[in-house]
Amino acid sequence: MARTPLDVNKVLFTCSRFVLLQLQQEQKGADMRVLGIDPGLRNMGWGVIDVSGTRLSHVANGICKSSTGDILAERLLLLHGQLAEVIEQYAPETAAVEQTFVNKDGAGTLKLGQARGIAMLVAAQAGLSVGEYAPNAVKKTVVGVGHADKRQVDHMVRMQLPGVQIVGPDSADALAIAICHAHHAQSQNHLDRALARAGA
């Protein structure tokens, strides 16, 4: 009996569809997908996590980069494009950005503020709600101490997201910002439910 020739394209399509359905099912299990952004003109860290009840899971993290030798406007445009691609690929439902820390370097603070503006703009253009958190608030939420150093932040991020492979310090900070936003969102949800029960 002659065998029917194998349709490779059909097999590939079926496999791709199966993987897509699996991803969709996994995403449906999450209550919320959060994008954390650590603003920076040279390195803008980003991290995406899923929130399911009190459970946090890592999705992806990375760094948007721009070269110090380029014109400022071009660097901002480059960061805009890279971050927009991250949002398009991972489809977060909400975002969080760290607030600018004002220091003695006025020019540096101004440039950081411009990068932060790009981060908020890209998120807003994608229709995301954007939370803002002071650096000390992020550290206190994730580590328990408002003046924790980067090593402590990195350690606690790894503790809360088991198995995570962190690209670099900037993406570790971004994941910490996402975790901070997730905890605040959970607290707000608990408060909203309590108020709803009280008013019922």
Q: Which of 119, 130, 138 is nearest to 44 (CA)?
A: 119
HEC secondary structure over 146-161: CCCCHHHHHHHHHHHC
Pairwise CA distance, residues 5 & 96, whole Å? 52
The sheet with strand 129-133 has its strands ordered as 55-65, 43-52, 32-38, 94-98, 129-133
Catalytic center residues = 38, 98, 170
Pairwise CA distance, residues 195 & 107, whole Å? 46
For residue 46, give the 3-state DSSP assignment.
Answer: strand
| E-only strand ranges, the chain | 32-38, 43-52, 55-65, 94-98, 129-133
